[in-house]
Amino acid sequence: MELYLDLISPPCRAVFLFAKALGIPFEFKYVDLNAGQQYSSEFGKLNIVVKIPVMKDGGFTLSERYSRASSKCLSFFVPQVQYTRSRRTSKRELQ
């Protein structure tokens, strides 16, 4: 999986940290926002809206502006984790 990011962007940082924290293997592709690299014709082929972050996995490309949606889509690639009752604490148990 390739992630096209510039860590100056808060949504990009969120996606980057999410992937790192969960150990998702990815190739970091730097897109220099200050130099306007997102407006290049090469990047335009990935995302016609010229926004980052962009995730590319094989033939699937996800271009999304908001990190929340990107994080949800990244979670598609993470195995589901089953939490036991002992790992969760309800509000009632805290009182």
Please report the pLDDT score of residue 62 as a whole number.
83
Residue 68, pLDDT score: 52
Q: What is the CATH number of domain 2-94?
A: 3.40.30.10
For the chain, which residues score pLDDT lower than 50? 67, 82-88, 90-95
pLDDT at position 83, please?
43
The pLDDT of residue 87 = 45
How far is 10 from 92, CA to CA, in rounded Å?
A: 35
Under 8 Å CB-to-CB from 6, ≥6 apart: which residues? 12, 30, 31, 32, 33, 52
pLDDT at position 66 is 54
What pLDDT does residue 79 have? 56
Q: What is the model's pLDDT at position 5?
A: 93
Q: What is the pLDDT of residue 46?
A: 87
Quote the CA–CA distance of 11 and 71 in Å, as a whole number.
10
> What are the residue numbers of the active site?
9
